[in-house]
Every structure is written in structure tokens, then in C-alpha cells.
Amino acid sequence: MQSVRIASFDGTPLTIDHADFIRGREALVVALPLGTKAPLIVRAAERFSSAFNVLVWQSRLILDPDIPLTDPAALSLASCNRDFVALLDYFHVGGALLLGYCSGAAAALHAAAANRDRVSKLALVGGAYFLRDGCALTQYEKDVLDLMPYVAAGREDAAYILGACSGTAGTAHMAGNEFMEEAYRAYSNVESFYRLGIGLTNFIQGDSRRAARSITAPTLIAESRFDTHTHYSSSMLIAGDIDRADVYVYDSGDHYDFCRANPLLMETILRAFTGDEALKSRSFEAQGIGSRE
């Protein structure tokens, strides 16, 4: 894959990774978790590249500490939504499939809600929505909900919290994980950590369930029941708010199955996007997990 820097609606540079476009193929936009780069999900991107023109969307400004951030509003949900349009327009794509992973699922959810005419199908994988009510929370989700608003308060606050978290449960539990460097890239310096805090706080304060209720595209929700990062019950709430949602909850694996390009997960997503009737997902009612009421 190759990287290109494009200018968004306000001139902010965006990094998009992509393979060579093949005429006649549908475009698939993959929204990365905030503060990560394409190598985190390169295996999945390569798998999807066999069927689609893949565009890997990196969140704005968080990993560009050399670019001044004078207004935190530059990291707003509205800006994120308009970035999605900017990347489609740059590549002359009228509409696309959209997939969001981890906090990228929240970005994809809001982008799809704000740009319903540009999203044909949606997939939300291992979604981190940071809902406060109605679902169980993992320790990771509790930490984000508790700490990120303080990180977003200012650079001095971010520096203090980053120093206090170094070597603690916030990152130490990832020791030995092959994806640790990419997943925690924004923790490598105070400025990126501060910007991550702003971005995640905007997601926390955004109304993900309201966004879900306005989704019109057929949607796949995929989550491991034993994911220790994002609890599957939050995905069930989001699925219950989307009219045309299929849910795939599996009883093995972890949060990084998508990064590993787990074959069954990849096949499920591909079948959802291609419209294959043998889609390996079931409605959440059929799984006995919940109901839409």
C-alpha cells in the first residue's frame, strides 16, 4: 500500500493509505482507531484488497504533533465527518462501503449518519463507543471514560496523566502483544496524547445511539464475546438502534482478531459487503443476546 496526503475541507492534511485502484471495483473505506496508522490493520487491508479498492483513513492531527493545534474544535466530530467526504471526493468516489474498527467504529458510525448518501453498506468491528449507560464496561472503557476528559483539559494535564500511566495497567497489560506499538502510538509523546484525549472525549460526548438510529445502510456489527477492550454489550445497544443490522458475536479470539485478519471474521465481513446470502451472521435476537425493544 502507498500513502498520500490530501487536504481536507479546512486545509488540514489527512493521511490515506491505499493500493492501486482497479477499475470497476467498489471502494471500501476503513476508519482506523484514533491515533493509529495503517500498519495496525495491514493484514486485513490486504485481504480486502482482493475484492475492493481499499482506502485506509487515519484520524486527523493526532499523529501530526508538528502541525499546530490552536483550536480543539479541529478535532470535533463534525470535522471528522467532513474528512470522510474529503477523502471520497479526492479519490472521485461517489459512494463507498465503510468499515470502522475500535474507536474507528465510532468515527464510521457518525460519518455514516452524517453522510447517508455516500455510504452503501457499513461494518462496525470491535466497536469502542464508550457508552455510559445500559451496558457493561471493560476496564479499558472505564479508564477512557474516566481519564480522557482530563487529558483533553490541557497539555499540562495530559503530561501529568501520561507520566502517571506509564508502565501501569493502561499499557503494561499489552506487553508482548505484536500490535502494541501501533495501538499505543499516540502515547509516545505528550502532544499526540493530548490530541487523542480531545478526540476520544468528543466521541464520549457525542450521541452514538442517536447516530445509530439515523443509519440507513445495511450494517454488520462484529464483536468477540471475550474482547477485554470493548464489551460486546455496547455493540448490542448500537445494533438495536440500527434498523438494518446483522450481528456476528463469536466466542473466541480477542480485540485484535481484525488486525490479524482472522479468516472467519474476514469472510463474514466480505459476505456482508458482497451481499452473499450465506452471510455468517445472525440477528442478535436469534443469538438470544437481546431484542430491539
The CATH number assigned to the domain holding 78 equals 3.40.50.1820
Residues in contact with 268: Cβ distance below 8 Å, sequence separation at least 6, in sequence order: 220, 222, 248, 279, 280, 281
For 142-195, the pLDDT digits (tens) are 999 999 999 999 999 999 999 988 754 444 445 557 888 889 999 999 999 999
Residues in contact with 280: Cβ distance below 8 Å, sequence separation at least 6, in sequence order: 248, 264, 267, 268, 271
pTM for this entry: 0.91
pLDDT > 70 in the chain, percent: 90
Burial 266-287 (b: 16+ CB within 10 A, else e): bebbbbbbeeeeebbbeebeee
- Asked whether residue 153 is assigned to any structural domain, the reply reads no
- Asked whether residue 51 is assigned to any structural domain, the reply reads yes
Q: How far is 273 from 165, CA to CA, in rounded Å?
A: 40
For 195-236, the pLDDT digits (tens) are 999 999 999 999 999 999 999 999 999 999 999 999 999 999
Q: What separation, in Å, do the N-terminal and C-terminal C-alpha atoms of the chain show? A: 43
Domain span at residue 94 reads 2-135+207-274
Domain count, the chain: 1
For residue 23, the SS3 value is coil
Output Rg (C-alpha) for the chain, integer angstroms: 18
- Asked whether residue 145 is assigned to any structural domain, the reply reads no
Mean pLDDT of 105-127: 98
- Asked whether residue 172 is assigned to any structural domain, the reply reads no
Inter-residue contact 34 to 186 (CB < 8 Å): yes
pLDDT band at 276 (very low <50, low <70, confident <90, very high): low
